[in-house]
Amino acid sequence: MKEPTLGNPQHTIEVLQKYNFSFQKKFGQNFLIDAHVLDKIISSAEITKDDFVLEIGPGIGTMTQYLACAAGKVVAVEIDQSLIPILEDTLSAYDNVRIINEDVLKVDIAKLVQEENGGKPIKVVANLPYYITTPIIMGLFESHVPIQSITVMVQKEVADRMQVGPGTKDYGALSLAVQYYSKPYIVANVPANCFMPRPKVGSAVIRLERYDEAPVAVTDEKMMFKVIRASFNQRRKTLANGLNNSSELDFTKEEIQLAIEKLGKGASIRGEALTLDEFAALTNILLAEA
């Protein structure tokens, strides 16, 4: 298969000029122009010819070319219509790529995986549009799309939030959700000069390896996430107040106090001090009481 031609400033500029393309800020368009970073993403995603890869936001097709060389099949979802003729051009040498012109948040990915890969687990690889990182990742996990791993470029600060545990300022609902569904691992930090145009924030590649089985036992997953959201909504308040004030939960003050006591914590404990294990246990206690 044809070696990638994109992944450097010169060829990227040539393509942009040929099509008179103007960047759209609202779509979070920062295109990769560094072959080392592209190689690193492909190698850490461990793509083989047996793999079906979903790419979110192919841009002008830079990473898509690398993915097409490594994978069996690539489906790439791009929202910006003006990129479609460019993609048809830059990907014309690859017969294992399908482009879908759509907002990824509106695509039924479980159905797509069923149709294109017989429902077998896929790999997601992307240089994500940063303005919708969290909804994309949470959407993939919560809709139980069969996924083996997600290897994505995200804002450095968001990668940190996905990885940390209790006792740090970055710890929150995103950390717990990501760590409930997957094992996160930061693969590389990527400086702004690897993109065109340069983003104002630092970036990092993170790999999320989906668990076959959740690392904690909880009787009602959805309820646990309601408890987690309620605990972090009011970060400066105690866990008891957070749970009490939540519009998503209807446990009584007494039930909440008793559950926190049964968990072995003091009344002044804050949500940000609890581990994923403890959130699961707290949810199980609350559900058993109610």
Enumerate binding residues for ligand SAM (CB under 6 A). Answer: 27-32, 56-59, 62-63, 77-80, 83, 103-105, 127, 129, 132
C-alpha 10/C-alpha 91 separation (Å) is 18
Pick the closer one to ligand SAM by CB: 69 or 223.
Answer: 69
Cβ 61 to ligand SAM shortest distance, Å: 8
Q: Which long-range contacts (CB under 8 A, 24 or more apart) does 224-228 make?
A: 224/180, 224/279, 224/280, 224/283, 225/173, 225/177, 227/279, 227/282, 227/283, 227/286, 228/173, 228/176, 228/177, 228/271, 228/279
For the CB of residue 213, give the shortest distance to ligand SAM in the complex, in Å.
31
Nearer to ligand SAM, 15 or 256 (CB): 15
How many C-alpha atoms does 22 have within 13 Å on its Cβ side? Answer: 1
Nearer Cβ to ligand SAM (135/165): 135
Q: How far apart are CA 126 and CA 124, in angstroms?
A: 7
Question: What's the angle, vertex CA 232, arms to CA 139 and CA 154, rounded to 5?
Answer: 45
Residue number of the CB closest to ligand SAM reads 57
**Shortest Å, Cβ 54 to ligand SAM:** 11
CB-wise, 139 or 166, nearer to ligand SAM? 139
Specify which residues 23 forms β-bridges with.
none
Query: Nearer Cβ to ligand SAM, position 56 or 176?
Result: 56
CB of 6 to ligand SAM, least distance (A): 8
We find the least distance from the C-beta atom of residue 27 to ligand SAM, in angstroms, to be 4
Residues 270 and 283: their CA atoms lie apart, in Å, by: 15
